[in-house]
Chains A and B, each alone.
Chain A
């Protein structure tokens, strides 16, 4: 086979090469055109889009969060403050290895699991180069450790912010409330533009009710920043409006007295100024440390509060609905007088029990088990109030009928929210035939009128409602919607006046005098606190049954489990001639009003005599 020897043909090769070169040139020119077309598209066709985008990168609108308004008591004692706090953040784009950085940080300062959870959550929603907070409230020692180690942890920053602080801790926990971190639902409901740069919002209490006032208005500045978020220049600035400071009617001396007087017991105290409707004390025990909530309470702490059987988070003053018991007797007395069904001289026989016509059931008076008989063969209005006679009021209630009761008691504010300027107020229950039909789809039974007449049965009232009723009794009918806040930013905010309770001056006198006898009378149910008293107080005791006592049984306090013991209530006003304070006290499961009235005495002493007023030792049994 002949060998195929190919000879190099330079011309042919040169021609091939030239052809290929031409091809190559065309390809180069073609691709170059594609490239330039692309640049044209970006730089000419879409110029506006990119121009805007580069402006957007360059100029940032930064929110300037407003300083939250402070809260003071009536004497200028600081109840809610803003304190600088330092937080540890990470700029994720500047950390070469996030996991490593986080590990190292955890070796330097404590970081909890919930901190990490929040960190990753915020990381997902951040803008480029925006610092993501990892830990709040760095201590000075922690700041020092971080400062020393910062150089080897790029992307880590320590910033300062203002955090809410409650110097009085548990003492004002329910009155003032607290702020907490804005959660998802709140973020949805709040006006996002007004809350830029703010991470906390009022959750409960005055902090929440007055959120708008306390928050102020956010400001803005237009800054030029580089990609690291560093502000290079401020182009424009709109200052934030700081939140207004609030001065409350609350008095720390009264709060403390009430809080300490309640001690370990569960209960509430509400003290009001009858002339203005200002709330000078609002205590619910047990309280809790509101500072725990500011930056996200730990689940351990929260479970402890939530699961405690004493429910510290429950504001008994405003949310607690209790049977008012005998405390409504002065109101009933006024109803009786105004309706003409009784006069001051009218008497009722009292064998210690009462029977409805045509019914065999005996409705007992509490004194029956103690004395074996009633209060007296005949009981008049003053004695009925002074000694808290049930029989008198069973009779009055029967004759008034439940709807008549409703008509006379409703103006005192029972069954309606008082409108106090705080959160979670309940409206209690003032029963009537219509109420029962609407709520329980049943007719009203006559026997129920009797228990209603002594403040039991379906009737329920909050301590605030009782305090408001007490102010009406103190001022002969004039009362206000209670107000915690006295002034906003220095300007006084008067309490709205409610429709007065109509009654003749004479009738008011009778009722007031009877209430005075409760404390100062020889057989007054609260006579024990008259000892050493330096002024004249008018009041009314109350005992609310928690469980029913069967016919023929005797209530023996020691035998009944603690949470089934009666509640103790007391309402009062003083000084008798020109009242400047009205008080409502409830002690849950206190056994009886003897647990409540010493507290009222202490509170009123503090108010009228100063904080070093005389203390009264509480003794005596249920009464």
Chain B
């Protein structure tokens, strides 16, 4: 059920000739290059942030290896297959989420994991890709911009897994999944009146949500954001230390492995969520701009791929993946600098942590599948 393909006179619609190894492997070179650069930079920063722990770097390296392999595999799969499989994965995912809510295991009062024969995994990670895939599948065949009833259907598709995850409880992941699904709808042309209406609704519900919806520790995080000094030794400690780390980096930074805040253990979570503070302290504003630059190039490439996608599905997926990637960047960099309340969002492809790396690279694999599809069209 492909889109109607229009051809301009003078071009032949032949299948792309594989013009190189990269293209034969369906890999998007610029994307690959940027991802490798990011991974390398991340490992360098991680070495310092983990306290010169080579073991941690090797572990992260292995995760990258796995992630890149998953990415390559994903890139081989044709986009149409993804489109067809989406809904099935969705149903399976819902089932798994229900299982987690009933019989899940976890720590600190959160049930997020399923334990199968000694192997543990988080179904919610899966849904981060599957939900946008499903929404995109739903909208791809329908007239866009989506009409009201389509929008409602999409909301239902999004709300179900989000609710199941919220119950775990895992507010952060639920919001992220909802966002990735909503990005699809946005890129499909969701009417501005709906967007404005939703914004108004959000503002109106802010007070009741604050009073009744938020748990104490969540309220505390917001209060700490506004005034970290009020609890210097407790909740405010992290933010005060990370701001100190960032600020004391200055323009030049203190030098690789010479960041006193991180090396002397003043900065908690220095190799995971707060790793950008290490980067800022050691590499200075220079380093931060460099990282932001890499990310921006990656994002622009993602948008470019989306613009040149051949199918609706491809466009929608590319847009959602790119915007979701941006959300990670924005929230992490923002929270570490004290702009947003502290939530457990890692800095993509730099923070230590395997799940995030593998799932992000899987997403990039999908993105590459989109770009492959595009290349098959003569220009």
Contacts and interface: CB of A to CB of B under 8 A. Distances in A.
A43 B334 contact: no
Given A39-B285, A47-B250, A227-B266, A24 B187 contact: yes
B335 to A, nearest CB: 11
Given A44-B250, A49-B247, A57-B261, A36 B288 contact: yes
B292 A36 contact: yes
A39 B337 contact: yes
Interface string B1-37: 0011010000000000000000000000000000000
B243 A50 contact: yes
Interface in B159-212: 186-189
Contacts of A10: 3-4, 6, 312
B296 interface: yes
A38 B334 contact: yes
B306 interface: yes
A54 interface: yes
B51 to A, nearest CB: 10
A18 interface: yes
A43 B315 contact: no
A42 interface: yes
A44 B284 CA distance: 10
A17 interface: yes
Interface string A12-38: 111011101100110011011011101
A42 B247 CA distance: 5
A370 interface: no
B266 A20 contact: no
Given A24-B319, A31-B330, A38-B339, A53 B248 contact: yes
B333 A51 contact: no
B70 interface: no
Contacts of A6: 143
B153 interface: no
Question: How many residues of B sit at the interface, in one of the four size bands?
Answer: 35 or more
User: Looking at B248, B312, B323, B326, which has the most chain A CB atoms within 10 Å of its CB?
Assistant: B248
Contacts of B266: 54, 57, 226-227
SS of B interface (majority): helix
Contacts of B53: none
A13 B339 contact: no
B38 interface: no
Contacts of A32: 292, 296, 330
A611 to B, nearest CB: 59
Contacts of B322: 24
Contacts of A21: 187, 303, 306-307, 319
A151 interface: no
A42 B337 contact: yes
A140 to B, nearest CB: 33
Interface in B233-276: 233, 237, 241, 243-251, 260-261, 263-266
A387 to B, nearest CB: 78
A25 to B, nearest CB: 6
Interface in B314-339: 315-316, 319, 322-323, 326, 330, 333-334, 337-339
B61 interface: no
Interface in A342-359: none
Contact of B285 (A9, A43, A53, A55): A43
Given A24-B303, A24-B323, A58-B260, A50 B246 contact: yes
A51 B306 contact: no
B280 A39 contact: yes
B260 to A, nearest CB: 5
B191 to A, nearest CB: 11
* Secondary structure dominating the interface of A: helix
A32 B312 CA distance: 28
A44 B260 contact: no
Contact of B247 (A12, A13, A46, A232): A46
B300 interface: yes
A380 interface: no
A12 to B, nearest CB: 8
Most B CB contacts (10 A, CB to CB) among A14, A20, A36 go to A20
Contacts of A24: 186-187, 303, 319, 322-323
A556 interface: no
A57 B334 contact: no
Contacts of B246: 39, 42-43, 50
A16 B323 CA distance: 17
Contacts of A95: none
Interface string B338-373: 110000000000000000000000000000000000
Nearest to A20: B187
A519 B315 CA distance: 122
Contact of B264 (A12, A16, A53, A225): A225
B155 interface: no
B62 interface: no
Contacts of B251: 43-44, 47
Given A42-B337, A51-B247, A16 B145 contact: yes
Interface string A570-592: 00000000000000000000000
B260 A93 contact: no
B110 interface: no
B289 interface: yes
A139 to B, nearest CB: 32
A516 to B, nearest CB: 75
A25 B303 contact: yes
A57 B337 contact: no
Given A13-B312, A228-B265, A39 B189 contact: no
Contacts of A58: 260, 264
A335 to B, nearest CB: 71
Contact of B189 (A16, A25, A28, A225): A16
A28 B289 CA distance: 15
A43 B260 contact: no
Contacts of B241: 57
A232 B284 CA distance: 25
A226 B4 contact: no
Given A25-B303, A225-B264, A20 B186 contact: yes
Contacts of A46: 247
A582 B99 CA distance: 96
A435 to B, nearest CB: 60
A24 B281 CA distance: 31
A57 B260 contact: yes
The 9 closest A-B pairs by CB, nearest first: A50-B247, A6-B143, A54-B248, A227-B265, A226-B264, A16-B189, A42-B247, A50-B248, A227-B266
8 contacts: A6-B143, A8-B3, A8-B142, A28-B296, A42-B243, A46-B247, A57-B266, A226-B264
Interface of B: 3-4, 6, 141-145, 186-189, 232-233, 237, 241, 243-251, 260-261, 263-266, 280-281, 284-285, 288-289, 292, 296, 299-300, 303, 306-307, 312, 315-316, 319, 322-323, 326, 330, 333-334, 337-339
Given A6-B143, A43-B288, A54-B248, 11 more contacts: A8-B312, A13-B315, A25-B300, A28-B296, A31-B326, A32-B292, A35-B292, A42-B337, A47-B247, A49-B247, A50-B244
Interface of A: 6-10, 12-14, 16-18, 20-21, 24-25, 28-29, 31-32, 34-36, 38-40, 42-44, 46-47, 49-51, 53-55, 57-58, 93, 126, 128, 224-228, 232
